[in-house]
Structures are given as C-alpha cells and as structure tokens.
Structure 1
Amino acid sequence: MNLNYEVITEDKISSYRDLSNGLMAFQKSKEHITPERFDSMNFETRMITSVKSAIHNYIVLVTDD
C-alpha cells in the first residue's frame, strides 16, 4: 500500500465532485438498514455544506497507488 496525501484548497474542491458523488453512491450500496438516507446526499448538499459551515477547513485527498 502506497498512500499519497494531498491537501486540497477550498477553491479546488469542485474538481473532486465526481469522486465525492461516487463515494456516496458506494456508501449507499453498502447500507442495509436505511439506504434512502443517501438519496438526498450529493456533493453540493454534503461536501459544500460541510466546508461552508466549518470554522476551519482542512481537506485532504488520500489516494493509494
């Protein structure tokens, strides 16, 4: 396992929209009790809302070669 860490600035998070939405789709596919909770979640409603409401932001993208 070779993990790479990249700090993402707030103005560049929109370039990770597809990755974020893909993660939420994966999470929904693994949910067995209440998968419908993910129906209203997407990049704008989850990531952008969290970033805008946080006092301090530190966004890190971790990838595995």
Structure 2
Amino acid sequence: MSSWGWGSVFGGRVAKSKDAPKNAILNLRCTLEMRAKQEKHLQNQIDEQDAIARKNVTTNKGV
C-alpha cells in the first residue's frame, strides 16, 4: 500500500494538468489556422462563382 501514497490519490496528475492549458491553446491555434485557410478557400470559390454569374448575366446566357 505504500506504493500508492497520498500524493497519487490527490495530486498524481499534476504533470498532466500542467500541460493541459498549453495543449488546449496549441490545439486552438491549429484549429484557428485551419479555419482561416478554409475561409480563404471558400471565399475564392465564392469569387469564382460570382464572376461566372456576372459573365453569364451580361451575355444573357443560361448556364
């Protein structure tokens, strides 16, 4: 029973809890970068489709 000790019962996860906020911040930064790339890609698609629509409107063509 001495291998368990009170430290492992009440404070055994101190090292893991210390890194949790840092890991959460890194995870959020990664997610933020991915969302920014996704937003840029979607905006490019919107611009392309808008240009196609404007071109078709001016030439009175149906797609």
* TM-score, normalised by the number of residues in structure 2: 0.32
Give the structure with the higher percent strand: 1
Between 1 and 2, higher relative CO (CA 8 Å, sep ≥ 6) is seen in 1
Give the structure with the higher percent helix: 2
State which structure, 1 or 2, has the greater radius of gyration over its C-alpha atoms. 2
* TM-score, normalised by the number of residues in structure 1: 0.31
